[in-house]
Every structure is written in structure tokens, then in C-alpha cells.
Structure 1
Amino acid sequence: MTTWITICDTCKRDDWDGARETETHGAALARLVEDAADGGPVRTRRVSCLMGCAHGCNVAIQAAGKLNYTLGRFAPEAEDAEAIVAYARLHAESASGQVPYRQWPQGVKGHFVTRHPPLPGDDG
């Protein structure tokens, strides 16, 4: 089953300067996550706004039938992108989407914003 990393490409951290920067922090993070996720059971997609502006840069880790997570407060840096992808790969390996804390990459600790239960099936 595919785990998706949904990346907000419109996120701007407090230090964003539109006069100096040609892309948003979210777009820069998206590019780094896409590069880090190349191949494997994880796919990426970009969206414009996850409505977590106070926590930018934001990503969602999602898969059908599993717990889903929103993470934020990332920097547009390769180290953060690699931690996001490493966590998403563990999510993909988990039957429920829950990854034991002791397995979390250091780079995602302190970045969890929300957890969502799987959607119920069509029968309720």
C-alpha cells in the first residue's frame, strides 16, 4: 500500500523574504522531499495550503486504512526532508500507520501537529 507525503508548497516560515527569495519555503522543502523519496513505497504530491500556517513548513503522511499524521515546523533543508521520508517509509511498513516512538527518525521528533484516524469504510 502506498504512503503519500503531501507537502504544502505555499508555506512561508517567519523569516521568508519575498524580495530576496524566488520560491516559498514549502516549495523548496517539496523539491527536497521529492528528491529524497525517489523510489520505494512512498509517493509525494504538492498541495497549495494545508492550513497550518503557524506550523510551516507542513506535510501530511497518509495512506488508505491507516492512521494519518500532519507534521510541521520543518526547515527547507535536506536533513529535514530525509527525516520526513524516513518516517513515511516506516509508516508504509506499518499495518496500522502507527510507528513506535523508538523507531522515529530524530528529525521528526517534536514536529507532530495532528493525528487522524483512518476514514471508515463505506458501510459506516
Structure 2
Amino acid sequence: MTTWITICDTCKREGWESGPMAHTDGEALATLIEATATGLSQVKTRRVSCLMGCKKGCNIAIQSNGKLNYTLGDFEPTEEAASGIVAYALAHSTSQTGQVPYRDWPQSIKGHFVTRHPPLPEEE
């Protein structure tokens, strides 16, 4: 089953305005995640404008139908962060429930979890 990485492309980390401001930090992270996930059939990416986690930017969500879904934040737009996010998404995609054992988490995502969402019910 496909796991989606939803990336906030409007995130700006503290101090963003002191840099070149050509791209937001979220755009920079999105570009790195998209490049890292290129060619993976189990993981897809999409950009959205605002996940409403501004105090913890850069924010992403790991999502799949019928599984636990997660919001992660407070990333720096680095290759290490992007690599860890994609590796976690791959592990999420192979998990039947979406839960990935802590021992299998990439080091670069530890401490970045903000929320966990249970799957929506299939029936009312």
C-alpha cells in the first residue's frame, strides 16, 4: 500500500528572513524529499501550503489509508532529514498497521514526532 509524505512548502524556520529568501525552508525540504523518494513505488510525495504547525516548521505528514498516520516537525531542510523521512515512510509502507518499531526509526527523525492519528473507521 502506498504511503504518502505530505510536505508543507510554506514552512519558514526562525531566522529564515536573514537568508536569501529565494525559497521557503519547506520548499527546500520538499525538494530534498522528492529527490530522495524518486523511483520508489511504495512512497509518494505531495506538497501542501500549510500544515498549521508553524511553531515547529518544517512539517511533514506520513499517511496511508487504513493505517496510523503521523505528523512530524521541527526539521532543518537537510539531506539527512530528507533521507530519514523517506526511510521512515518506506518502513511505514511495509507495516500492516503503520506502526514502526522504535528500533527501526532512522536517527534523524527521532524527537520530531508531533502527533499520531488513528486510521479513520471504514464504516460509520
Question: Shorter-chain TM-score: what band?
Answer: over 0.9
SS at 1:17's partner residue? helix
Paired residue total: 123
Number of the residue aligned with 1:28? 28
Deviation at residue 33 of structure 1 after TM alignment? 0.2
Number of the residue aligned with 2:95? 94
Alpha-carbon distance in structure 1 between the residues aligned to 2:16 and 2:45: 24
Deviation at residue 20 of structure 1 after TM alignment? 2.2
Q: How high is the sequence identity, in percent, across the aligned residues? A: 65
1:64 maps to amino acid: N
Alignment of 1:45-84 (within 5 A): 45-84=46-85
Alpha-carbon distance in structure 2 between the residues aligned to 1:117 and 1:10: 26
Task: Name stretches of at least 5 consecutive residues in structure 2 with no aligned partner.
Answer: none
Extract structure 1 runs of 4+ deviating beyond 6 A.
none
Deviation at residue 17 of structure 1 after TM alignment? 1.2
SS at 1:29's partner residue? helix
2:61 maps to amino acid: A
Deviation at residue 19 of structure 1 after TM alignment? 6.6
Deviation at residue 118 of structure 1 after TM alignment? 0.2
Number of the residue aligned with 1:105? 106
Deviation at residue 11 of structure 1 after TM alignment? 0.1
Alpha-carbon distance in structure 2 between the residues aligned to 1:105 and 1:44: 19
Number of the residue aligned with 2:45? 44
1:32 maps to amino acid: L
Alpha-carbon distance in structure 1 between the residues aligned to 2:80 and 2:8: 18
Task: Name stretches of at least 5 consecutive residues in structure 1 with no aligned partner.
Answer: none
TM-score, normalised relative to structure 2: 0.96
TM-score, normalised relative to structure 1: 0.96
Number of the residue aligned with 2:17? 17
1:107 maps to amino acid: S
